[in-house]
Amino acid sequence: MGLRERILAGRGVQPPELVLKRGRVVNVFTNEVHPADVAIQDGHVVGLGEYSGPNELDLGGAYVLPGLIDGHLHIESTMLAPGEFARAVVPRGVTGVVVDPHEIANVLGVEGIRLLLAASAELPLDIWVNVSSCVPASSMETSGHVLEARDMAPLLGLDHVVGIAEVMNFPGVLNADPGVLAKLELGLATGVPIDGHAPGVRGRDLCGYLAAGIESDHETTGAEEAEEKLRLGMWLMVRQGSTEHNLAELLPVVRRFRARRAMLVTDDRTPTDLRDEGHLDHALRLAIAEGIDPVWAVAMATINPAERFGLKRLGAVGPGYLADLMVVPDLQDCRAELVLKRGRVVARDGAALFDAPPFDYTPARDRVHIAPLDRASFRLPATGGRCRAIGLVPGQIVTEHLVVEPTVWNGEIVADPDRDLVKYAVIERHRATGNVGVGLVKGFGVRGGALASSVAHDAHNIGVLGTNDEDMLRAVRAVVEQQGGLAVVADGQVLAELPLPLAGLMSDLPFEEVARRSEAVDRAAAGLGCAVRHPFMVMSFLALSVIPSLKLTDQGLVDVDAWRLVPLKA
């Protein structure tokens, strides 16, 4: 009966269930804005033109946009459970997201992916999953689980699973590693989209990477790199996260080429940024402010990701399309005053009109286990010469491979806050192996104390940085005591903490409380002299072994450019 009613309502033979009166439709088919009533029946848009019905909302000339679709992100990076994530982003006009759950998969394996799917099932937000292809990201880190092609295959048949997630092990692709090729062959055989992850991959290497069937990239940071990838047919994911700011650099390329295969994505957003700035709507506003035509910018956040991932009947305002819509009074500002999901108003004036449904996260709890740890675990014997150090790059997650003269005291390399050099360590927390990697990092500005977190991409061991071993040890113990989370310590005292008991990645608290506590730990870190915005998220990427140039895992320092573990001594 639903199809019949939609036809009749669209023809005007019977009144539609809901009519959005006097709207201005942002039409991503024709790149125009035009006045129209929007008729809705059975959760679908059934007509544009002049309509009336028993339920009408007078928009007074406001703009009707398709609901926003984020084509690449990790829910776990927000530190919110799926229900609270929906409460945070739906009022921003986001009605769908394509996620790579490799954070929880590194902790829980296939069970984690299934858990995230189940927790998302009853939400007024479509959460589509790309099956994680790199768990762990490389063999140079220790994760809780390993996913092979045989583990991934059964997941591709599940509802709301749409493809294969970012193939981060680009050296494995280029060197035709059999395990990596098996995952690519799985994607090619099933015909699903395969997402990429190719920071700095250029020339013939890029051709080889694309020849494997990979079609997109969200790690592009430079204009020339973006041009090359677009010319070779790649989908360019223009990323604007909390610590990854690529939009201003890449959008001029999109504008010059009028690139059709481009979309806006967020990848990683903190709860405070979700609260204060927004989600994909924030990237949309920035794109418009950078000079992208508003309708074109809307297309980059709606129809383009819908077509990239084969999301039928989504991403546009038109008859037959699902009524996932946002209404904004100002197209330049794009702040939603109404959000509709399947024709039902689910948010108004920035507030969600729904609660997160209850969900049993028991399988995700009690996931932080380390071997006995003491001050000696963080000891760095003097190398007798210069040593390697990780150098932060502002606004990016790539790092520099620095060579520095270390500060030595009593035969040990120690932190030197006056030179902005502090210790950084990664402690394995899945199998209590006792693995501890220790190195140096430059760029945080910390003058005292320590910061620790059970979020350390992508294996998510415990990362800790600090100016002295005692505070580093206390901070790690604070994280273990709360079975995952963030902690700031000085002089042996815990100054602030945020528990993340769900896989050591996500909170079980409401969005507003998570944002408040996240702000508190950031403020405590600033009190120690930390000059980095979102220090815990920045720190979490220091362990990501597939992002150039120098990283640190529980197994030691990783020279990503050379694709090997290297000693501290340069």
What percentage of the chain reaches a pLDDT higher than 70?
Answer: 100
**What pLDDT was estimated at residue 395?**
84
Q: Which of 94, 65, 99 is nearest to 296 (CA)?
A: 65
Whether residue 302 is found in the same domain as residue 430: no
The parent domain of residue 142 ranges over 91-314
Whether residue 299 is found in the same domain as residue 413: no
Whether residue 280 is found in the same domain as residue 409: no
Interval 32-36 mean pLDDT: 98
Quick one: 305 exposed, middle or buried, by C-beta within 10 A (0-12, 13-18, 19+)?
buried
Where is the domain boundary, 254, 279, 314?
314
Q: What is the Cα–Cα distance from 435 to 447, expressed in whole angstroms?
A: 27
In degrees and rounded to multiples of 5, residue 237 shows phi and psi of -90, 110
> What mean pLDDT is reported for the chain?
97
Whether residue 283 is found in the same domain as residue 426: no
Whether residue 370 is found in the same domain as residue 256: no
Q: Is 252 inside a domain boundary?
A: yes
Element (H, E) at 243: none
Whether residue 289 is found in the same domain as residue 386: no
Give the number of domains in the chain.
Answer: 2
Whether residue 275 is found in the same domain as residue 381: no
Q: Does position 363 have pLDDT exceeding 70, yes or no?
A: yes
Q: Is 543 inside a domain boundary?
A: yes
pLDDT tens digit string along 166-197?
A: 999 999 999 999 999 999 999 999 999 999 99
Interval 351-357 mean pLDDT: 97
Whether residue 307 is found in the same domain as residue 374: no
Whether residue 292 is found in the same domain as residue 377: no
Whether residue 381 is found in the same domain as residue 468: yes
pLDDT tens digit string along 538-560?
A: 999 999 999 999 999 999 999 99
Amino acid at 280: L
User: In CATH, what number is assigned to the domain containing residue 131?
Assistant: 3.20.20.140
Tokens of 524: 């405590």
Where is the domain boundary, 280, 314, 348?
314
**What pLDDT was estimated at residue 62?**
98
Interval 495-521 mean pLDDT: 98
Q: Is 487 inside a domain boundary?
A: yes
Whether residue 156 is found in the same domain as residue 254: yes
**What pLDDT was estimated at residue 383?**
87
pLDDT band at 277 (very low <50, low <70, confident <90, very high): very high
Where is the domain boundary, 272, 290, 314?
314
pLDDT tens digit string along 378-399?
A: 999 998 999 999 999 998 899 9
Q: Is 470 inside a domain boundary?
A: yes
What percentage of the chain reaches a pLDDT higher than 90?
Answer: 99
Q: Does position 99 have pLDDT exceeding 80, yes or no?
A: yes
**What pLDDT was estimated at residue 1?**
61
Q: Is 207 inside a domain boundary?
A: yes
Question: C-alpha angle with apex 355: 351 to 358, nearest 5 degrees?
Answer: 155
Question: Which residues make Cβ contacts (< 8 Å) with residue 384, sequence separation at least 6?
Answer: 569
Q: What is the Cα–Cα distance from 527 to 496, expressed in whole angstroms?
A: 11
Question: Which residues make Cβ contacts (< 8 Å) with residue 132, sequence separation at least 6?
Answer: 100, 101, 102, 105, 113, 147, 152, 165
Whether residue 425 is found in the same domain as residue 298: no
